[in-house]
A and B are shown apart, each in its own frame.
Chain A
Amino acid sequence: AQKVTQAQTEISVVEKEDVTLDCVYETRDTTYYLFWYKQPPSGELVFLIRRNSFDEQNEISGRYSWNFQKSTSSFNFTITASQVVDSAVYFCALSEAGEYGNKLVFGAGTILRVKS
């Protein structure tokens, strides 16, 4: 069965610090997709990134970067020079290539608090 573990329940940093959010996943499938979503206090889940299992290239987008390592089943997310606006709950999610759709399995989320 699919499972996503986000071991860090809550992280507090001071503005401008770098912070890494961990994500470990379990799946038996060879084709799967990994996602990160941000959930600000307003409640709406905001899509950040999708990574396919056959693409292990790391990605950088502005202050955000993602490290995908199949050998350790991890898909970690780093925010460089954090800002107060980064404060939110961050979810890692996994989906397998299903015949009828790609339902997402989410981790429990990591609360990030960035203090000024």
Chain B
Amino acid sequence: DTGVSQDPRHKITKRGQNVTFRCDPISEHNRLYWYRQTLGQGPEFLTYFQNEAQLEKSRLLSDRFSAERPKGSFSTLEIQRTEQGDSAMYLCASSLVGLAVNQETQYFGPGTRLLVL
């Protein structure tokens, strides 16, 4: 299967701990997005990479959140000093954009479900 993969699928942590999630996009996809989804809601945009450059961040992304995509392939999302309000599903999506920007489609991974106790 060559779809978007995320690891871990589930994470339980205690408040105050740091957690890191990984996303492996579809091979050769140059854009990578992170979204957060809370129960009963649609996903909300967090941040986005074009290759290795982080080009946009949502105001939802507090200082405790950091994302990287060091070589333009996989990406990591780290949450420091987790709070109970960080409990959510964290979704990663990737897309391939060339000259036809209006043809962009984001393909999502299975998500990482985080529970902060």
B25 within 8 A of A: no
By Cβ-Cβ distance, the 5 closest A-B pairs, closest first, are A106-B42, A45-B108, A103-B45, A100-B55, A44-B110
A62 within 8 A of B: no
Say which residue of B40, B48, B110 sits within 8 Å of A101 (CB atoms). Answer: B48
Known contacts A106-B43, A107-B42; A100 and B50 CB within 8 A of each other = yes
Q: Contact check, B107 vs A43: say whether CB atoms are below 8 A apart.
A: no
Say which residue of A4, A37, A50, A98 sits within 8 Å of B108 (CB atoms). Answer: A37
Bound complex: CA A12 to CA B40 (Å): 17
Shortest beta-carbon distance from B11 to chain A in Å: 14
Query: What are 24 sample pairs from A and B whose C-beta atoms fall under 8 A apart?
Result: A4-B42, A33-B102, A33-B104, A37-B108, A43-B89, A44-B111, A47-B105, A47-B106, A98-B56, A100-B56, A101-B48, A101-B50, A101-B55, A101-B56, A102-B104, A103-B33, A103-B48, A104-B35, A105-B45, A106-B43, A107-B42, A108-B40, A108-B42, A109-B42
Say which residue of B42, B55, B101, B111 sits within 8 Å of A93 (CB atoms). Answer: B42
Contact with B along A23-66 (1 / 0, CB 8 A): 00000000101010100001111110010100000000000000
Q: Which residue of B lies closest to A50 (CB)?
A: B105
Bound complex: CA A100 to CA B50 (Å): 8
Shortest beta-carbon distance from B8 to chain A in Å: 13
Interface, chain B (partner A; CB < 8 A): 31, 33, 35, 40-45, 48, 50, 55-56, 89, 91, 93, 101-111, 113
Residues of chain A from 69 to 116 with CB closer than 8 A to chain B in the complex: 91, 93, 97-98, 100-109
Shortest beta-carbon distance from B43 to chain A in Å: 5
Contact residues in B for A101 (Cβ distance below 8 Å): 31, 33, 48, 50, 55-56
Bound complex: CA A78 to CA B101 (Å): 28
Q: Which residue of A lies closest to B46 (CB)?
A: A103
Say which residue of A44, A97, A103 sits within 8 Å of B109 (CB atoms). Answer: A44
Q: Which residue of A lies closest to B40 (CB)?
A: A108
Q: Contact check, B48 vs A45: say whether CB atoms are below 8 A apart.
A: no
Contact residues in B for A104 (Cβ distance below 8 Å): 33, 35, 43, 45, 106
